[in-house]
Amino acid sequence: MSVSTNDLKNGMTLDLPEGLFSVVEFQHVKPGKGGAFVRTKLKNVRSGAVIERTYRADEKLEQAIVDKREMQYLYRDGEQYVFMDNVSYDQLHVDESSLGDAAKYIKEGDSAVLQMYKSEIVAVDMPAAVELTVAETEPGVQGDRVSGARKPATLETGHVVQVPLFVNIGDRIKVDTRSGEYITRAG
């Protein structure tokens, strides 16, 4: 589906020769002489790399219609994650690499919004923070809350985060899915 550069919107996904990009920002420029143009900042949906591109006004680009499907993560099958569509109940086998960072934070039973273009997953919308259980870490040190010292902790998903010394195995902690950092102990 073609879209004019005059009709770009933030968040729109474009299918460019270099790959799929979402529009981060754009600016229409009308110089004193010469034709108008559109300056854009585009983010590669697969790699996260941001590029800047300038297009002529009313240049046609290919818009990628991204389908957002809410799915529940059921279980892991080898290197694949099995999801179920919450509407159609269809099951989808997804390679770990397609999930990107979401694979570090998703556990069985969790829901996530999978952004799909044709049959490919281009992004996974996760909540800003998730609660996960600490599966492995050194024993906690009581009373050592001041020093700010950290230790590694392996979460139930296998992801490792740095946590304060007082966190123990079996504790539920909140983790920021954007930075990957420990936020607080969960109740």
Of 97, 125, 153, the residue at which a domain comes to its end is 125
Residue pair 160/134 in contact by the 8 Å Cβ criterion: no
What pLDDT digit, counting tens, does each position of 109-146 carry? Answer: 999 999 999 888 888 888 899 999 999 999 866 655 55
pLDDT of residue 122: 84
Judge residue 157's burial from the number of C-beta atoms within 10 Å of its C-beta, 0-12 exposed, 13-18 middle, 19 or more buried: buried
Q: In whole angstroms, how far apart are CA 153 and each of 98, 132, 170?
A: 25, 11, 11
Q: In whole angstroms, how far apart are CA 66 and each of 12, 46, 116, 118?
A: 9, 13, 5, 8
Q: Which of 65, 132, 130, 76 is nearest to 99 (CA)?
A: 76
Residue 14, pLDDT > 60, answer yes
- CATH code of residue 138: 2.40.50.140
Same structural domain for residues 150 and 135? yes
- Residue percentage of the chain with pLDDT more than 90: 71
Q: What is the mean pLDDT of the chain?
A: 91
Angle value at C-alpha 150, between 149 and 153, nearest 5 degrees: 160
Structural domain for 51, as ranges = 2-62
Give the number of other Cβ atoms within 10 Å of residue 179's Cβ. 10
What pLDDT digit, counting tens, does each position of 46-76 carry? Answer: 778 999 999 999 999 999 999 999 999 999 9
Is residue 98 helix, strand or coil? helix
- CATH code of residue 6: 2.30.30.30
pLDDT of residue 120: 84
pLDDT of residue 47: 79
Same structural domain for residues 14 and 30? yes
Residue 101, pLDDT > 90, answer no
For residue 177, give both structure tokens. 């899915």
Task: Check: pTM over 0.95? Answer yes or no.
Answer: no
